[in-house]
Amino acid sequence: MVQAQELVLDPLRVYRIPFSTNVERVALAAGHKELAVEWIDVDPGDRSAVEAASGQPLVPVLVHGGEVVCDSPAILDWLDERFPDPPLYPADRAARAEVAIFVQWFNLVWKGPPNELVAVEDDARAATLRDRMRASIGLFEGLLHDREYLFGAFGMGDVIAFPFLKYAAFGLPAGDDELFHRILVEQLPLEPESPIHAWARRVDAHPRG
């Protein structure tokens, strides 16, 4: 456990690359908690600094004092544990479990089809993956029925999903040529009346760390 004094003295450093979905999760969580982050910008084509710091090449990587945390969900949990106010999860235990199930589903199930589509060669498999992505739109719209954020109040569910679903709502930003992001734009077609549009604007208005 990190001591309170260390929390104040040691900066939160996070390695990042441009347009990274998983990095934006950390930025949103830090913004929610009003935490200042010292961003370490890394050339996407040269991960040597990230590898030297963490033993693996992917961002985000958080470094705090002697601690190194890889993987955005683990970083978000680390932040919520050390800086619990305001929280990312609901206080109610059952509601918290529901959000935790969503987080696991999003990371372990929902992300699968767009990730696989980046490299898939078989046409039939690609069609199945596209169908799965399109079918998921209604689930997010259902969660947003009559509420402003995915689980009522802004929190972990929004932080986890927004950096990916924003591509469906906003399209590709200038300079972003990631195939993965283009797949998100093309395979998540939203109807004009989809509540995902207003939700994305609402989440986008939240501060980043």
Ligand X SMILES: N[C@@H](CCC(=O)N[C@@H](CS)C(=O)NCC(=O)O)C(=O)O
For the chain, list the strands marked E by DSSP. Answer: 12-16, 37-41, 61-64, 67-70
* Of residues 30 and 59, the one with the C-beta less far from ligand X: 59
Q: Note whether 54 binds ligand X by CB under 6 A.
A: no
40 neighbors 11 (Cβ within 8 angstroms)? no
134 neighbors 191 (Cβ within 8 angstroms)? no
Q: Note whether 76 binds ligand X by CB under 6 A.
A: no
18 neighbors 44 (Cβ within 8 angstroms)? yes
Binding test (CB under 6 A) with ligand X, winner from 12, 30, 54, 72 = 72
In the DSSP assignment, the letter for residue 152 is: B
Binding test (CB under 6 A) with ligand X, winner from 59, 159, 160, 188 = 59
User: Smallest gap, in angstroms, from Cβ of residue 190 to ligand X?
Assistant: 22
Q: Note whether 116 binds ligand X by CB under 6 A.
A: no
Q: Note whether 37 binds ligand X by CB under 6 A.
A: no
* Of residues 51 and 191, the one with the C-beta less far from ligand X: 51
95 neighbors 149 (Cβ within 8 angstroms)? no
Question: What distances in angstroms separate CA 97 from CA 80, 88, 91, 94, one per listed residue?
Answer: 15, 12, 10, 5
Q: Note whether 58 binds ligand X by CB under 6 A.
A: yes
* Of residues 58 and 120, the one with the C-beta less far from ligand X: 58
User: Using CB under 6 A as the criterion, which residues of the chain lie in contact with ligand X when the complex forms?
Assistant: 20-22, 58-60, 71-72
